Amino acid sequence: MNVSPDSASTAVVCGIGSCLPPLSLTNEEIVVRGELATTDAWIRSRTGIERRRHAAPGVSTGDLALAAGEAALRSAPGIRPDLVLIATTTPDRPCPATAPDVAHRLGLGPVPAFDLAAVCSGFLYALTTANALIAHGTCRYPLVIGAEKYSAIVDPRDRDTAPIFGDGAGAFLLRAGDREEPGALVAADLGADGSGSDLIAVAGGGSRLPETAQLEREERYFRMRGRQVYAQAVTHMTRSAQTALDRAGWAAPSVEAFIGHQANQRILDSVAERLGVAAHHRFGNIADVGNTAAASIPLALADTAARRLVRPGARALLTTFGGGLTWGAIALTWPSVRPLSTDPTPHPLSLSDTDRSHPSWKLSASTS
């Protein structure tokens, strides 16, 4: 999919929010919980992950999305979203989408709201979609959220996934603006290859293999073929990132902030080195939160922005790879907004609760 800067007008990030559940599990705790045949040293050396967050049983993806969404709104006073788009692989229910409920709980009224599923590439797909909706006049202030509760679909006994994935949500509030101002989406690239759809998947629960008591354990949980995914991720993230840079008219050495999907530190380093991005311009939080799928990039960007590690307006590059197979990259100027974050109090969804007033979230200036 080609998304080129045909005009000066584009989406601009004017609000940023994030939510990480308070429970932090170390590698040792994950190993003990799942009786995994691995060690803390092995996990760190192979992935760069030291700990990850898990949401409580009563907290859903929608709850995390709600908290991140409100934090984004609080960082942009006076702006009211007129569309909500949630990128997720772990919706609250198979049907309906999670976004309409989140929009309702935010008190936004009958605004359009929908989910987008592109696994770990979902947030960049969603940002690109929101940018197009702004350009076509469908909305003025879309709220884009990446939210996941992977602890609900990962097998605690699976050494290939249990140590890697965590829960969380990140949100961007967008508005129309100029390509030269801080927070502007300058250029993007998206791609997919369905021939690798089985490399990252949950086999059961859909129309092909409906959820029944007869499903095998391998079919119920998220599975990933790590070795095959590694090579594909490095190749497609690098190519997509270079394409986005070319469309923006930027050289890789001019990039002051590189944030890749927080899947594996070795993948991130390999992509950045192939592109020629200096080590001191690479940012991420994989060690502390693990792989949060569609929430990965907004959480990493929010954490970096909260720490004020990048100057507003600096050239930034985001790139991702996920199931589908899907991939993408966005070139943007670094936002000037400072994000807010929340740790959610458990607020389980109830199908009978038709008047869901917004809960009182505890806000702080730190994303971790």
Give the residue numbers annotated as catalytic, written as ranges: 120, 261, 291
CA distance 211 to 297: 31
Task: Say which amino acid occupies 231.
Answer: A
- Distance from chain centroid for Cα 235: 20
Q: Which long-range contacts (CB under 8 A, 24 or more apart) does 302-306 make?
A: 302/16, 302/17, 302/18, 302/170, 302/339, 302/341, 302/367, 303/18, 303/367, 303/368, 304/257, 304/259, 305/16, 305/334, 305/335, 305/337, 305/338, 305/339, 306/338, 306/339, 306/341, 306/365, 306/366, 306/367
Residues with Cβ within 8 Å of residue 354, at least 6 apart in sequence = none
Q: How many Cβ atoms are within 10 Å of 18's Cβ, its own excluded?
A: 31
Q: Closest Cα partner for 296 from 150, 194, 193, 192? A: 150
**224 DSSP 8-state letter:** E
CA distance 292 to 164: 9
Output the CA–CA distances (angstroms, integers) from residue 261 to 33, 40, 327, 331, 359, in the order listed. Answer: 26, 22, 10, 14, 30
Phi, psi of 82 (to 5 degrees): -115, 15
3-state secondary structure 50-66: CEEEECCCCCCHHHHHH
Check if the beta carbon of residue 15 is closer than 8 Å to that of residue 71: no
